[in-house]
Amino acid sequence: MDPAYAHIRDWIFDLDNCLYPASTGLFGLIDERMGAYIQRLLDCDPVEARRVQKAHFHAHGTTLAGLMAEHDIDPHDFLDDVHAIPLDRVSRDDRLVRGLGRLPGRKFVFTNGDAPYARRVLDAIGVPDDFECLHDIHASELRPKPDPHGYRLLCDQFGIDPKRAVMVEDMAQNLRPAKALGMTTVWVDNGSERGNHDYDAAAIDARITNVGEWLEQILGDD
């Protein structure tokens, strides 16, 4: 084990564009369904739906949070709709499977999505049973990352000592609350932020491009 991670007992991973490559374009399918949902909700054209969607994302952390705050939508209805996508673009990742299997301690998924969708994705990439818990948007009481509330709930529920935990995430802004709690932070810089360079370098301990490759590097030879 790389000495930088020898103290880690709890490993916390984001899901989308983190445990699978952003290049699959899977989140693009969700993005399209969010746009279509907003068009139906507001009876607007695609251009206006796109504007509303991104405005909510940047103002509230997720499109869902903005729609709940400003349009009082049912979060279950929204999540069921936008996650109804095929997963044929995502395939088993043997390197990730091996790496997660070798990690000492507990492993968690912390996602702004919901658990049914997360389970489908984990099954597709070959790691359906590797995690202690899926801490989804409902477990965060519908307060999405980077709201610190969900981070604290996760730590409190499972007795996670932040100083002995690592968070792996493709959205750099979502690492700020983790770092503030005392976690070791790893940014998966794989292009998923689409040109967003608004991040705090002091909140990032390591910068990688692929989780499976990183696990191989820090775990060393069998």
Q: What is the DSSP string of 64-108?
A: HHHHHHHH---HHHHHHHHT----TT----HHHHHHHHH--SEEE
| Complete DSSP assignment for 146-187 | TSHHHHHHHHHHHT--GGGEEEEES-GGGHHHHHHHT-EEEE
C-beta neighbour count of 2 within 10 angstroms? 12
Rama region for 121: left / alpha / beta (φ>0; ψ in -120 to 50; rest): alpha
Locate the domains of the chain by residue range. 3-22+90-219, 26-82
Q: What is the pTM of this model?
A: 0.92
Is the sign of the CA dihedral 89, 94, 95, 96 positive or negative?
Answer: positive
pLDDT for residue 61: 75
pLDDT for residue 198: 60
Residue 10 pLDDT more than 80? yes
CA 168 to chain centroid, in Å, comes to: 9
Helix (H, G, I), strand (E, B) or coil at 124: helix
For 131-154, write each residue's pLDDT tens digit: 999 999 999 999 989 999 999 999
CATH classification code of 26-82: 1.10.150.450
**Confidence label for 194 from pLDDT (cuts 50, 70 and 90):** low
β-bridge partners, 109? 13, 134
- Rounded Cα–Cα distance for residues 119 and 166 (Å): 22
pLDDT for residue 8: 97
Domain 3-22+90-219 has CATH 3.40.50.1000: yes
For 205-219, write each residue's pLDDT tens digit: 999 999 999 999 999
Task: Look over the chain and give the mean of its residue pLDDT values, rounded to a whole number.
Answer: 92
| Cα–Cα nearest to 140, from 105, 115, 175, 164 | 115
- Rounded Cα–Cα distance for residues 20 and 98 (Å): 14
- Rounded Cα–Cα distance for residues 184 and 124 (Å): 28
Both tokens of 45, joined, read 């054209």
